[in-house]
Structure 1
Amino acid sequence: MSTTDKTNPTVKSADRVLDIFELFAEAEVQELSLMDISRRLELPTSSVFKILHNLVHRGYLEKDENGKMFRLGYKIFQIGAKYAQHTSLTTEFQHVAQQIVSEVNEAVYLSIRSGRNILYIAEKQSTHPVRFVSHLGMQLPLHTTAMGKLFLSTLSGDKLEELYRESDLLGLLTDTTISEWNVLTEHLQEIRRTGVAFSNGEAVQGVRCVAAPIVNANQEMIAAMSISIPTSRWKEETWSQMTELVVQAAKKLSWIHYYQPG
């Protein structure tokens, strides 16, 4: 066997892994079965089975509770978050976030949507000893966070129904996590009216957040930013100031990153 022949299986395996990732990226659904992947890529199920379980073991894919459906795993989003740290959006975010921290000394976060979760891609922490600390690559369900509800507010009723079943809202993170569909839709209607989203300890007990959208030149939401404050430091006048700051900062990021020429 030639040297080239010996290396072909490795190259072929790598190609198949990349084909699987690209399939998930392009698929209209978030979950695919072994048979779906095998059929769409025209590959033997035995080969796909081995690759899928290797990817699950490494965290690049996840299985559903029945072990039959696969979706992209946390490792993919961690890598994406690391990449995002080097983009101009996160660089500009650090500048505007520092201005906010200098004014109110509360934590500021930047996120993007990842399926039914938000994915934290940047942050600027306050100097207070008591604070909510995220980590890059952390994910939280959309309906539990102010930033996540912003993303949900951009979806039509049909898209929301595709994304959720009512049972999906029953996993409580805190005592105030939204667990009823009609309550969530009321929140989304208010967000569409005002352009601002709030959360009150729905993801992390004792932490309130206000969030605003970052949009592109077509007014499509591509990211969100928020300011968080522990309820122990919450004051109405501070809350009003934080709301104004996050709205103006999100508008600034939208303008700098998506409207300026060059």
Structure 2
Amino acid sequence: MNLEKKNPTVKSADRVLDIFELFAEVMELNLNEISRRLDLPTSSVFKILQNLISRGYLEKDESRKTFRLGYKVFEIGAKYVQNTNLTTEFGQIAQHIVNEINEAVYLSIRNDNKILYIAEKQSTQLVRLVSHLGMQLPLHSTAMGKMILSGLNDKEIADLYPESQLGVLTEQTIDSLENLMAHIKEIRQENIAYSRGEAIQGIQCAAAPIYNSEKKIVAAMSISIPSTRWNEQIWSRMKELVIEGAYKLSLINYYQQS
């Protein structure tokens, strides 16, 4: 066996893994920083980065000339997480909710300033949302995102939004940090979050938190309903079911980690 011919391939794989491990520690870096931290020539690092960008494993911020993990990493992570006990238990709990009120149920985790949908159970209604699985939306625009934000302290939230004006998806999206913080205050008091057409026009959601064994919010669960089917009775039942479902998932998560 000619080991010399195999060494370059092994080295390239090691360098790719080194880059991934580096981004697990530092969220965003430029080319020179990556080269210096890994003690590699910038020319070699540049070629690897370009390959990773082309495959979606890294993203580049052209304005700052920095790199960060791309959607493909989280897509793979989401597919992997689907096989864990949490998402398995979610499927059973969500199916019970769909059986009772026949509206869509979702599970998400945080990815920087976005939520990543990792599991869902769709309704059988003729009018329903398309699949959200693997989709990412801004935290401040969704019920689950605002619920996850409520688990951070005020400084951590402010650091996520250095600009006072926030990006909007619809006319109802929260558009300022001041308004967002007011919503977060209410969510912390009520332990439930809402979205009324803030991410998708005409869709209303109620979300509840999922805790880990350290009592930190690590995920969120929501039920969504089109405004055309909304009424006070079903909205009240949605809130009860999402709180109950998230509580059950929190208990499962707690005992799995204990």
- Tell me the secondary structure at the aligned position of residue 120 of structure 2: strand
Contact kept? 1:113, 1:148, Cα under 8 Å? yes
Q: Tell me the equivalent position of 1:198.
A: 194
Q: What percentage of residue pairs aligned between the two structures are identical?
A: 64
Deviation at 1:222, TM superposition (A): 1.2
- Tell me the secondary structure at the aligned position of residue 239 of structure 1: helix
How many residues align? The count is 258
Residues 182 and 69 (structure 1), Cα distance of their counterparts in 2 relative to 1, 3 Å cut: same
Name the CA distance, whole Å, in 2 between partners of 1:97 and 1:37.
Answer: 43
CA RMSD of superposed structures (Å): 1.5
Deviation at 1:131, TM superposition (A): 1.5
TM-score normalised over the length of structure 1: 0.95
Q: Tell me the equivalent position of 1:10.
A: 9
Q: Which runs of 5+ in 1 are unaligned?
A: none
Residues 167 and 59 (structure 1), Cα distance of their counterparts in 2 relative to 1, 3 Å cut: farther
1:34 to 31, 36, 43: 31
Contact kept? 1:196, 1:211, Cα under 8 Å? yes
Q: Which runs of 5+ in 2 are unaligned?
A: none
Residues 95-132 of structure 1 deviation map (CA, whole Å, 9 limit, x = unaligned): 00000001110000001111111001100000111112
- Tell me the secondary structure at the aligned position of residue 215 of structure 2: coil
Aligned amino acid, residue 24 of structure 1: F
Deviation at 1:133, TM superposition (A): 2.2
Name the CA distance, whole Å, in 1 between partners of 2:84 and 2:181.
Answer: 33
Q: Tell me the equivalent position of 2:160.
A: 163
Name the CA distance, whole Å, in 1 between partners of 2:257 and 2:51.
Answer: 44
Structure 1 moving runs of 4+ over 6 Å: none
Q: Tell me the equivalent position of 2:172.
A: 176
Name the CA distance, whole Å, in 2 between partners of 1:59 and 1:167.
Answer: 30
Q: Tell me the equivalent position of 1:113.
A: 110
- Tell me the secondary structure at the aligned position of residue 201 of structure 2: coil
1:72 to 55, 69, 73: 69
Residues 172 and 261 (structure 1), Cα distance of their counterparts in 2 relative to 1, 3 Å cut: closer
Contact kept? 2:144, 2:208, Cα under 8 Å? yes
The aligned runs of 1:1-262 (5 Å cut-off) are 3-27=2-26, 30-66=27-63, 68-166=65-163, 169=166, 171-259=167-255
Name the CA distance, whole Å, in 1 between partners of 2:109 and 2:225.
Answer: 20
Q: More deviation in 249-258 or 139-148?
A: 249-258
- Tell me the secondary structure at the aligned position of residue 125 of structure 2: coil
